Structure 1
């Protein structure tokens, strides 16, 4: 066999072997955006180096050959994606669009340098590609609030890794069209003086580039703050904040509440971190998007709320659905900039950045403290594991739920046991052991002793199990692939968030069909049909063979709304058979409500129709109905009814089951200026046997009431 043929076969084998190795590397082993980016970077430099010493008559074929090798390396990824049913049309599109254009872009630059007969062409090429690939990225990173980035050298970074859905979008295609225009222009400059067609191509490419670069903002390639403000439309100023919000999807009351909460959390965090009072001149900009899909389109982050701490202007970006759970957390990031490092106002330890925020906001669970969640998942992290989680890359190496809660618990321990100044020093230097003057074993032992003093129960264990069992993106078999059901469900949620109920119901029909009547989806479908008054549709799908209590209760409601009480009672009997009385859930009061025909009728009118009971009827209703009525009045901003129902409810003994609702009620009353009634309710709730986390939340509402009483 000729030596050249042998070398070719060897190169093919090594290329395929490289692709096989990638299969064992998280994310890079998936035929999607990450591996496409890697292939694009390699192809760009490879093409450029090859062009620096290439044959002018074989340039196009030489570039094609490089592309062939890249695709050959991607072949194991493609085969694996097919065999594991992880093949994504979007992942395939990334591979077809980015690596080939990356190769020709690098090749075109190298070819141009070669035509000028410059010395040290490869060094110059490397400098140019690094300037384009890193320099431009850094400029955009430190000047724009977006978290997506486009680049001619490496393609595109779509946004945070927690937003798993990554699709080929119009902005990506538009920007790659600019890359192709650059390729055409640079490729034909060497022949500009000899070939007329080259002059035409260079001229047209230059025009396309000039026009294209004027459209970067409109096409979603760059997103300056001014453009976000223009798109959202709404604006409200407070003492320390500039709030920009989607004026179509926020009511005036919702914005006033958020404005007050911004100021309240600012005061709380300032006190917790012993920071000097913030001046009124340098206000924090808060961008409040109507929903995650709008945020994804404008700045690249969908379900991930974030603070670009690296920018000079203090700001946060959060969608409406995340404000309750994330606003205080994100504001911690903003205020922590004051003691962050000089480069990007943060810490090189992601564990410190996120742990500090979790320590102050207390975590997302309404039933368990962050300490109780950690205690429920013993054994505790060792000193070595703890040190690793606070290292530069350790935080994102594991499950986010584990790392957020664990780091938050440890940081809260440090805040309670040591001067806050030591934590600030650790935050700035990313060196906890040096800042505290203690080694990791000593710090871990102290934390473990603290955790040993925390009592837990089955509710804490269930919460911990739910949070800690969520796999990370790196652990998922098909990290970027959406099933047909997931896509339909995502569309349904988007339409509901956009207040397009008609289209949302149609999308929910599709989701139900794609889910093959999965119980949770069927429950949501049935409820939405009932709210829309489509009782017959629910009746048609009702089946005694269904296996959840919630389904049968909704079926019973549907038949009762149509006047078929006998059939409704059949489904109630089935629900009773399925019900587990040992479960501490709202199913029990829901079952009780339906045992009395009068109560059940009131409940149905309240839940599915625009009905508001008067004071006489309200007094006679079941306690569960009273709570639902009060929540509905708050949701629909019927404040006269909120006060009326709230006063009546004071006359009935409170139930521990409804603590979350009481806390919501206190919060809203304080905002309405009804401080006396809010304080009455706070005292009532304080006498209940509260869980540790509920006591924390009640204390927070006490601070809120005091703040709103000023």
Structure 2
């Protein structure tokens, strides 16, 4: 019988399985991330092929018997698994050639490492199931498949981690915010272990298929022992993270009245105390907001940096909470911006539902909305201002759509967080937290509020209309002019290549980094690659080339978040070429655009340096230490408020002694404008980090002297209240802390 007849007319349903594979992969071509030859495509095909390989093996074993079982089995199985593997790759590669082509090499590596082992794993599981169960074999195989597939649910529920290694799909990195995924040695090692383990299962299943019962009992017993041992040593190998493993790395523990806080080594002792105190302050604030007291302590895990968090926890670029565990996981540099938000998730467990004790149907708009409402600030702006900024500058989204399914992730995350948070805050302020608790577990606006969502949204929009945020297109573009990962071209490949290119740049391999960034730009416009290439050219003393590059590309980034960064880099390049007139004109333009507080402050600082003995050139060409000296010279007679936030950042990076910093920057201040108010705001926070609460309170009070507008005034008042609480309560609260090394 020819191969063609074997496929179409065999009683093993091979044609049906191949048809399923073809349809499945054609469907994948219509969805973002799976429409390219890469990670998601390989992982989903692995899941399918494990299932179909198992079905096919069981069908073969049931249909064929006799002396020629071995030969027939091998021939039919080899044909089937070859087709199983060839068809998905063929469909995706042809589609990539005709449409979008990312890296063929990367796609092939993902397919080889993740998808290739799937047919062996499925075949082994099918043979093993048939070996022990002759009736309802397919059903039992499906049960085994589901049990293995859902092991990550148990790991997610009981362990700290959000990354997973699994035989069926290979690997999952954590969250959608970790875009760069690479074939790591750890993943290769894991798949090799999969191949060895399931390969041995397949071989021995074939050998003992007609052996006595005792041999089969010993065989399954050995499989269970090996599986148990692997689960036990998995944390040591880095394939899972238990609380024991996490606690052994984050081994500096602080017990407070309401928290067990686990810090990584390398975090300043004073900062450990400050962060611990902020935990207690935010706890007190959240008790008032939720009108609820937790009955158990919260476990807080503070990582040294994103790399450490990515390795141990899995979400490198996003801090997270697991409410059902009463645990939060944050990077220490993010404590002042994200800590209260994550703690709010632990409080929301009060009215959560299901095994994860969160919103009904795991609705992300409700889950994140209440956390944002409890901590209603975003990049030194109020959440209501940010929502009005979006609403009044043509960044509108449908609230009905936002609260449907997982559409929260359908646009840039900042838009989803802002609208969900501001709308939730509106509901809580107008109708009370108690009604929102009912909404959280029911997701029926009409039943809870007596009004449908579209009617409630009208009141919300009227509130936004009363906030002064019109004619601020530049600021809106800066915050919302980004794409969600699902709408980017080749996001996984580009992110991985960017990571490698920037690594080369930071190793001072500028020729290599320039070429790598250039290759990325050949796939399409990319802000990070553009800036990386310009920086590499500058390091290679090709500033004019870098200037031409940025000027030629700037127009393509109009109305995006990246336009202002490119403008700023362009101005800096003009300044290093001593074309101060052109540089200043761009800095002035950025000040007028005012995309955010940071750019406004930095551009004004550049203008101040440019106007005083051309200090700007020395500043831009110098290293961190030289920059710090230039700022000291700028402030030698009169303090320049724009320099204070930058000086603080440099002082931290240089590990400047706090007392020496104060000698230069702590003076008799007169705050009469926004610059002074912003400088005092940042200075007060720096003083808090150095455990200098009395001075911090004094400076925070000074920041309030200038009426900087209703939005920023709320930020300043919130900062003052926090420092006032720390100043009043720190001595008393610290006595209750227990520091364990």
- Compute the TM-score of the two structures, normalised by the length of structure 2: 0.79
Q: Describe how 1:625-636 pairs up with structure 2 within 5 A.
A: 625=643, 628-629=646-647, 632-633=650-651, 636=655
Matched residue, 1:520: 531
Matched residue, 1:240: 258
Displacement of 1:306: 1.0
Indicate if the aligned counterparts of 1:590 and 1:624 stay in contact, CA closer than 8 A. Answer: no
Indicate if the aligned counterparts of 2:182 and 2:496 stay in contact, CA closer than 8 A. Answer: no
2:46 is the alignment partner of 1:40? yes
Aligned length: 667
Matched residue, 1:662: 680
Q: Describe how 1:581-620 pairs up with structure 2 within 5 A.
A: 582-584=592-594, 585=600, 586-597=602-613, 608-609=625-626, 611=629, 618-620=636-638
Q: Describe how 1:453-468 pairs up with structure 2 within 5 A.
A: 453-459=466-472, 461-468=473-480
Q: Deviations over 1:196-225 (max 9, x none)?
A: xx9999999999767644531122111001
Displacement of 1:183: 2.1
Q: 2:274 aligns with which of 240, 253, 257?
A: 257
Displacement of 1:6: 9.2
2:160 is the alignment partner of 1:142? no
Q: Describe how 1:366-385 pairs up with structure 2 within 5 A.
A: 366-367=380-381, 369-378=385-394, 380-381=396-397, 385=398
2:401 is the alignment partner of 1:388? yes
2:74 is the alignment partner of 1:80? no
Structure 1 stretch 98-107 or stretch 629-638: which is displaced more? 629-638
Matched residue, 1:432: 445
Matched residue, 1:495: none
Matched residue, 2:563: none
Matched residue, 2:37: 31
Matched residue, 1:639: 658
User: How many angstroms apart in 2 are the aligned matches of 1:294 and 1:321?
Assistant: 13
Matched residue, 2:283: 266
Indicate if the aligned counterparts of 1:243 and 1:286 stay in contact, CA closer than 8 A. Answer: yes
SS at structure 1 position matched to 2:636 = helix
Q: 1:506 aligns with which of 494, 503, 508?
A: 508
The 3 A distance-change label for structure 1 pair 272 and 24 is same
Matched residue, 1:231: 249
Matched residue, 2:562: none
The 3 A distance-change label for structure 1 pair 164 and 194 is same
User: How many angstroms apart in 2 are the aligned matches of 1:617 and 1:287?
Assistant: 40
Q: 2:719 aligns with which of 692, 701, 704?
A: 701
The 3 A distance-change label for structure 1 pair 294 and 117 is closer
The 3 A distance-change label for structure 1 pair 61 and 432 is farther
Listed as ranges, the gaps of 5+ residues in structure 1 are 493-502, 530-536, 559-567
2:189 is the alignment partner of 1:171? no
SS at structure 2 position matched to 1:300 = coil
Q: 2:128 aligns with which of 95, 104, 112?
A: 112
The 3 A distance-change label for structure 1 pair 634 and 100 is closer
Matched residue, 1:155: 170
Displacement of 1:674: 4.7
Displacement of 1:704: 0.8
User: How many angstroms apart in 2 are the aligned matches of 1:95 and 1:189?
Assistant: 27
Listed as ranges, the gaps of 5+ residues in structure 2 are 522-528, 552-565, 595-599, 729-741
Matched residue, 1:287: 301
User: How many angstroms apart in 2 are the aligned matches of 1:151 and 1:606?
Assistant: 46
Indicate if the aligned counterparts of 2:641 and 2:675 stay in contact, CA closer than 8 A. Answer: no
Matched residue, 1:305: 319
The 3 A distance-change label for structure 1 pair 457 and 65 is same
User: How many angstroms apart in 1 are the aligned matches of 2:103 and 2:648?
Assistant: 48
Q: Deviations over 1:317-369 (max 9, x none)?
A: 12234333322221111221122114211113210111112222224333562
2:374 is the alignment partner of 1:360? yes
Structure 1 stretch 54-63 or stretch 292-301: which is displaced more? 54-63
Indicate if the aligned counterparts of 1:288 and 1:319 stay in contact, CA closer than 8 A. Answer: yes
Displacement of 1:596: 2.8
The 3 A distance-change label for structure 1 pair 149 and 417 is same
User: How many angstroms apart in 2 are the aligned matches of 1:32 and 1:116?
Assistant: 37
Q: Superposition RMSD on alpha carbons, in Å?
A: 3.9
Matched residue, 1:331: 343
User: How many angstroms apart in 2 are the aligned matches of 1:522 and 1:87?
Assistant: 20
User: How many angstroms apart in 2 are the aligned matches of 1:681 and 1:107?
Assistant: 69
Q: Describe how 1:683-698 pairs up with structure 2 within 5 A.
A: 683-698=701-716
Indicate if the aligned counterparts of 1:37 and 1:98 stay in contact, CA closer than 8 A. Answer: yes
SS at structure 2 position matched to 1:481 = helix
User: How many angstroms apart in 1 are the aligned matches of 2:59 and 2:632?
Assistant: 87
User: How many angstroms apart in 1 are the aligned matches of 2:509 and 2:32?
Assistant: 33
The 3 A distance-change label for structure 1 pair 70 and 397 is farther
Q: Deviations over 1:637-680 (max 9, x none)?
A: 53324544554151x44431354432121233355565554344
User: How many angstroms apart in 2 are the aligned matches of 1:202 and 1:419?
Assistant: 58
Displacement of 1:13: 7.6
User: How many angstroms apart in 2 are the aligned matches of 1:399 and 1:80?
Assistant: 27
Q: Deviations over 1:436-479 (max 9, x none)?
A: 232223212221221222221444x3333233332122212213
The 3 A distance-change label for structure 1 pair 509 and 206 is farther
User: How many angstroms apart in 1 are the aligned matches of 2:237 and 2:6?
Assistant: 48
Q: Deviations over 1:558-582 (max 9, x none)?
A: 7xxxxxxxxx7x4434534655454
Higher relative contact order (CA 8 A, sep 6+): 2
SS at structure 2 position matched to 1:506 = coil
Indicate if the aligned counterparts of 1:147 and 1:300 stay in contact, CA closer than 8 A. Answer: yes
SS at structure 2 position matched to 1:172 = helix
Q: Deviations over 1:87-109 (max 9, x none)?
A: 35443223223334222222223
Matched residue, 1:4: 5
Structure 1 stretch 671-680 or stretch 79-88: which is displaced more? 671-680
Displacement of 1:505: 4.4
The 3 A distance-change label for structure 1 pair 557 and 79 is same
The 3 A distance-change label for structure 1 pair 76 and 263 is same
The 3 A distance-change label for structure 1 pair 379 and 552 is closer
The 3 A distance-change label for structure 1 pair 107 and 704 is same
The 3 A distance-change label for structure 1 pair 40 and 447 is same
Q: Deviations over 1:146-196 (max 9, x none)?
A: 11222233333221122111222233333323332332333213424989x
User: How many angstroms apart in 2 are the aligned matches of 1:513 and 1:23?
Assistant: 31
SS at structure 2 position matched to 1:480 = helix
Structure 1 stretch 78-87 or stretch 324-333: which is displaced more? 78-87
Matched residue, 1:491: 503
User: How many angstroms apart in 2 are the aligned matches of 1:6 and 1:601?
Assistant: 73
Displacement of 1:302: 1.2
The 3 A distance-change label for structure 1 pair 48 and 472 is same
SS at structure 1 position matched to 2:316 = coil
SS at structure 2 position matched to 1:244 = strand
